[in-house]
Amino acid sequence: MLLILAWRNIWRNKKRSLIVIAAITAGLSCGLFASAVMYGMYDSLINTTIDRELGHIQIHSIRFEDEKTISDTIPDFSNVISKVKSVPELLGISSRIIIEGMCSSPTSSRGVKIYGIAPEDEKNVTSIHKQIIEGKYLESNSSSQIIIGKKLAENLDVKLKSKVILSFQDFDGNIIYAAFRVSGIFQTESSIYDQSVVFINQNEFFGLLNSQTFSHEIVLRLKSFRAVDSVFAKLSRTFPSLSVKDWKLLSPELKVLFDILDIQLYFFMGIILFALLFGIANTMLMSVIERIREIGILIALGMKRSRIFVMIILETIALSLVGGFAGLIVGVIVIAIFNSTGINLSAFTEGLSQFSISIVLYPILPLIFYPIITLMIILSAVLAAIYPAIKAIKLKPAAAIRTY
């Protein structure tokens, strides 16, 4: 009965109610879209970093984590790879050689991290092969070929098929010089990465160093993001003498973003709802003042003040939920449209590349976000209704009927 009465009271002043509903709808839908953009931006940052270089899990020798010298190789790495390949959740695995060195052209030199990779294996764990903008990716039988980032190519003033010189130390501390032809130029979301990393076939390293096969890093890509924690725990137990780290340990700053992302979004939506709360409270207060005589009569006829209080609360919740559901529907539609088409931010490429964010942004919100927002709307409505409801139940029937 109270719910029906509350619903009817909302529409006694249709224009005012529709304005409030429109305000809630606009505020909530815009807030949802802004949250989806922020979530999509952070999601892009995390995924591009994993796709570009980290993979889901990496394995190193203990010493390599601290020193990162050429001699800090993974003991019996072929046996490690063999055991890892038995993991059911595994999608791809790649062994890497990583050496700090110099990349020089006739006009300039830059310090770089030289990755020696098995090209076909690397395709299964990272996306570099998809980001070649000039030339071609490395081939398994390629000789004296190198792929470099666009930013590094600009810094060295080289182009496709130009010759560059790599210099680095061997196991004995001697400097090795080797000439390579630029066979491909890649461009990722990170300009910092593009100017500091080069790739060659790892067989080149074995020949230049006159050594047997070795590995500094084993990178894993799993079939599902959700399997990372379980596989990481399993491999940590399997290889206690090695350093096994998942992407969250490899990049702690991404873990922080991942952990606080939901909190940031709820806080952001809370600010929007808090602002709307005052508008709702003002509307309900006006509604109560307009009905003072009516409320006084109800109290005089014996209606309990607690029921008056509940009625005002129900009116506010009903009004807020109508606007809230309308806002959710509009927000979901807008997010779905832009998630399908993407938001092109190519005008801000230079700035975004400093933060490793893709120039095409896809807004997205996890499904768990929506029911929590609904609860936040109800809570906001209750808070907004408290003062008008208290105002109503404090009325003295005789004074209310006589005055109004």
Q: Between helices 252-290 and 305-341, what is the axis angle to 10°?
A: 140
pLDDT tens digit at each of 404 positions of the chain: 667 776 776 777 788 888 888 888 888 888 888 888 888 888 777 788 888 888 899 999 888 877 778 888 888 888 989 999 988 988 899 999 999 999 999 888 999 999 999 888 898 898 888 889 999 998 877 778 999 999 999 999 999 989 999 999 888 888 889 999 999 999 887 888 888 899 999 888 888 888 788 889 999 999 888 888 899 999 999 998 889 998 888 887 777 777 777 788 888 888 888 888 888 888 888 877 877 788 778 778 788 888 888 888 888 888 888 888 898 899 899 999 988 887 777 666 655 555 556 667 788 888 888 888 888 888 888 888 888 888 887 877 777 677 65
**Which residue shows structure tokens 């990465």?**
193
Q: Which amino acid is at 27?
A: G
> Are the C-beta atoms of 77 and 95 separated by less than 8 Å?
yes
SS3 state of residue 12 = helix
Rounded CA separation 317/361 (Å): 35
197-201 and 109-117: which strand pairing?
Answer: parallel
Which DSSP category does 107 fall into?
S
Per-residue pLDDT tens for 75-113?
888 898 999 998 898 889 999 999 999 999 988 899 999
> Are the C-beta atoms of 204 and 195 separated by less than 8 Å?
no
The backbone torsions φ and ψ at residue 173, rounded to the nearest 5 degrees and listed phi first, read 90, 5
**Which residue shows structure tokens 């929506």?**
370
How far is CA 220 from each of CA 11, 93, 131, 249, 310, rounded to the nearest angstrom?
60, 5, 20, 14, 58
> Are the C-beta atoms of 186 and 131 separated by less than 8 Å?
yes
